């Protein structure tokens, strides 16, 4: 049974059958929400050193506004929500927001992306709030290299966070590694072994030219890396759906180990893109590699009704472009990754 058929069969089809479909026939069922643009790390590909241009809290959408907006997306067919940042666990009372979103009719999957530094103290509360899955950023197993990438030595805190997440039964737990030429590409096999022995899914990511920070990183073409890992570990294509995101997954023959490849540069996945991103101030970005956006905060704070918000969601999705142009126009995107949400 297809995902659409399952939803119809469950009685959770959007009201009036009003699926969110963009101009290019792609169904949009995945919303990523940046709950803060603040982070306690300064990863070289994400946030400029010394940056002080964060949004003021009064500009953030509050929990009531977020619940109203996510509810509108859910009524129109969005089934997956991911909480991101910055570092989302820096947002006060985040588990309470997670519980409110998970309780919305139609939301089937709630996940969270984190750098792991705060995870040990929040893992149990997040699990009770209904968070299903976690993505944890970990770009290096070498303490000095990790500190060079992130701006400080937080390695032990991240390791404690990973252990706490495993102990709480999150499934799956994915490790996100941005492969950077001359920085950490030599550690890929070590990261594979680390993930496999702990029951984690490793996702290798090509760096994208998001702002000056992203353009400062030499991206690694993951095609040859995939060929190397397929040969070494006897990987075969994964047939199971593992989260609805952009990664293409491979697994070991015994199913014990899995590796995902996110190849935004070498082999883009725009034709199947099913997601949009909401920033902390209520701006919806419909593509990482284009400037198309829609501001929801003025609408939410003007007393707009549910029908008006749903109509705005439809209009926002209509702005989604056919594809990014990271290769053709690498300097187009001025905003950096932490401003958009992971």
* Residues 228-244 pLDDT 10s: 999 999 999 998 888 77
Rg (CA), the chain: 19
For the cut 50, the answer to whether the pLDDT of residue 6 exceeds it is: no
> How does residue 55 score in pLDDT terms, banded at 50, 70 and 90?
confident
If residue 149 lies in a helix (H) or strand (E), which one and from where to where?
helix 143-150
Taking the C-alpha atoms of residue 284 and residue 297, their distance in angstroms, rounded to an integer, is 10
Q: What are phi and psi of 58, to 5 degrees?
A: -65, -20
The mean per-residue pLDDT over the stretch 18-30 comes to: 89
Pairing of strands 201-206, 236-237: unpaired
d(CA 221, CA 205): 9
User: Higher confidence at residue 1 or residue 252?
Assistant: 252
pLDDT tens readout for residues 184-241: 999 999 999 999 999 999 999 998 765 555 556 788 999 999 999 999 999 999 988 8
pLDDT at 9 over 50: no
Contact 137, 40 (CB under 8 A): no
Q: Rounded to 5 degrees, what angle do the CA atoms 269, 333, 186 make?
A: 60
Residue 181 has pLDDT above 70, yes or no: yes
Instruction: Please compute the mean of the pLDDT values over residues 81-95 and round it to a whole number.
Output: 97
Helices (H) and strands (E) in the chain, counts: 12, 12
Q: What's the mean per-residue pLDDT of the chain?
A: 88
Query: How far from 128 is each of 31, 168, 195, 293, CA to CA, in Å?
Result: 21, 9, 25, 34
Q: At what angle do helices 143-150 and 155-168 cross, to 10 degrees?
A: 100
Report the pLDDT averaged over residues 136-165: 97
Q: Where are the alpha helices (DSSP H) in 248-305?
A: 297-300
pLDDT at 17: 45
pTM, 2 dp: 0.89
> Rounded distance, CA 260 to CA 226, Å?
9
Task: Give the residue extent of every domain in the chain.
Answer: 26-340
Domain 26-340 - what CATH class? alpha beta
- Cα–Cα distance for residue pair 251/161, rounded to 1 Å: 25
Average pLDDT over residues 306-332: 79
Looking at the chain, the whole-number percentage of residues with pLDDT higher than 90 is 70
How many Å separate Cα 280 from the centre of its chain?
Answer: 14
Mean pLDDT of 48-77: 90
Average pLDDT over residues 94-120: 98
């Amino acid at each position: 049974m297809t995902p659409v058929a399952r939803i119809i069969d469950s009685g959770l089809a959007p009201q009036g059958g009003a699926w969110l479909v963009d101009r290019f026939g792609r169904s949009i069922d995945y919303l990523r929400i940046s709950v803060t643009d603040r982070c306690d790390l300064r990863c070289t590909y994400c946030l400029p050193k010394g940056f002080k241009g964060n949004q003021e809290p009064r500009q953030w959408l509050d929990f009531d506004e977020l619940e109203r907006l996510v509810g509108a997306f859910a009524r129109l067919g969005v089934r997956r929500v991911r909480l991101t940042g910055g570092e989302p666990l820096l947002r006060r009372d985040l588990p309470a927001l997670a519980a409110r979103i998970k309780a919305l009719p139609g939301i089937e999957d709630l996940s969270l992306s984190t750098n792991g530094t705060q995870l040990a103290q929040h893992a149990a509360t997040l699990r009770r709030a209904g968070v299903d899955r976690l993505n944890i950023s970990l770009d290096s197993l070498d303490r000095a290299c990790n500190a060079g990438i992130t701006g400080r030595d937080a390695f032990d805190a991240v390791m404690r966070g990973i252990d706490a997440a495993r102990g709480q039964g999150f499934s799956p737990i994915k490790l996100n590694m941005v492969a950077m030429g001359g920085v950490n590409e030599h550690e890929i096999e070590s990261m594979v072994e680390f993930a496999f022995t702990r029951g984690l899914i490793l996702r290798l990511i090509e760096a994208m030219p998001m702002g000056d920070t992203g353009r400062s990183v030499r991206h690694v073409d993951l095609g040859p890396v995939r060929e190397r890992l397929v040969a070494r570990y006897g990987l075969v294509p994964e047939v199971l759906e593992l989260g609805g995101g952009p990664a293409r997954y491979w697994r070991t023959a015994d199913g014990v180990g899995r590796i995902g490849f996110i190849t935004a540069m070498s082999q883009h996945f725009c034709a199947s893109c099913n997601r949009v991103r909401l920033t902390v101030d209520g701006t919806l970005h419909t593509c990482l590699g284009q400037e198309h956006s829609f501001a929801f905060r003025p609408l939410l704070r003007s007393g707009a009704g549910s029908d008006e918000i749903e109509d705005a969601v439809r209009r926002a999705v209509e702005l989604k472009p056919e594809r990014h142009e990271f290769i053709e126009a690498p300097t187009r995107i001025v905003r950096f990754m932490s401003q958009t949400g992971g």
